[in-house]
């Protein structure tokens, strides 16, 4: 049951990323961290119409599509480990791969101490709020689910 829930979550996330890669815009702005706008040298204040923050980076369509494919691959690995899908590789390799993804998700939940994770310093944007209350807790839950799937008996 845990494996099915984890695999379905990864498939849903993969679908959202493919949607964005194909030009979808719904919730896209809340998916990228924002940083304070830098005032140019000599400026006294930023223009009144300017936003106080800007995206930390602009994801490319190719990069977003690759993330979606990677998320779908994790769903396939979890399904294979639980016997829900054909295994693309042997048991121990699959077990270690899922364990490494679990560690990566744990690292994402903890964050970089700047823009993402439970210990981020830059706050005040819709992304930061969602990261604190949705994205980071989801990463922590997925990390636990992946670790559980990785240690399941074959």
Give the residue-averaged pLDDT of 74-95: 89
∠ at Cα 135 (35, 103), nearest 5°? 105
| List of residues 6+ apart from 74 with CB closer than 8 A | 10, 98, 101, 146
Q: Give pLDDT, residue 21.
A: 97
In the predicted model, what is the mean pLDDT of residues 6-15?
98
Tokens of residue 57, six digits? 């980076």
Structure tokens at 25: 């815009």
Rounded distance between C-alpha atoms, residue 105 and residue 121, angstroms: 19
pLDDT score at 29: 87
Which pLDDT band, with edges at 50, 70 and 90, does 119 fall under? very high
* Mean pLDDT, residues 135-142: 98
Percent of the chain with pLDDT over 70: 91
What is residue 53's predicted lDDT score, i.e. its pLDDT?
A: 84
- Asked if 150 and 98 count as a contact pair (C-beta separation under 8 A), the reply is yes
């Amino acid at each position: 049951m845990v494996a099915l829930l984890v695999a379905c979550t990864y498939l849903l996330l993969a679908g959202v990323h493919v949607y964005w890669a194909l030009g979808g815009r719904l919730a896209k702005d809340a998916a990228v961290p924002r940083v304070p706008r830098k005032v140019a040298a000599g400026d006294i204040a930023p223009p009144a119409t300017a936003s106080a923050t800007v995206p930390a980076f602009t994801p490319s369509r190719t990069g977003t599509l690759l993330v979606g494919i990677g998320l779908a691959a994790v769903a396939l690995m979890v399904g294979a480990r639980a016997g829900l899908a054909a295994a693309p590789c042997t048991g121990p390799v699959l077990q270690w791969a899922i364990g490494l993804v679990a560690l990566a998700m744990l690292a994402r939940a903890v964050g970089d101490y700047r823009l993402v994770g439970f210990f981020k310093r830059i706050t005040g944007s819709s992304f930061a709020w969602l990261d604190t209350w949705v994205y980071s807790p989801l990463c922590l839950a997925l990390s636990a689910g992946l670790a559980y799937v990785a240690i399941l008996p074959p």
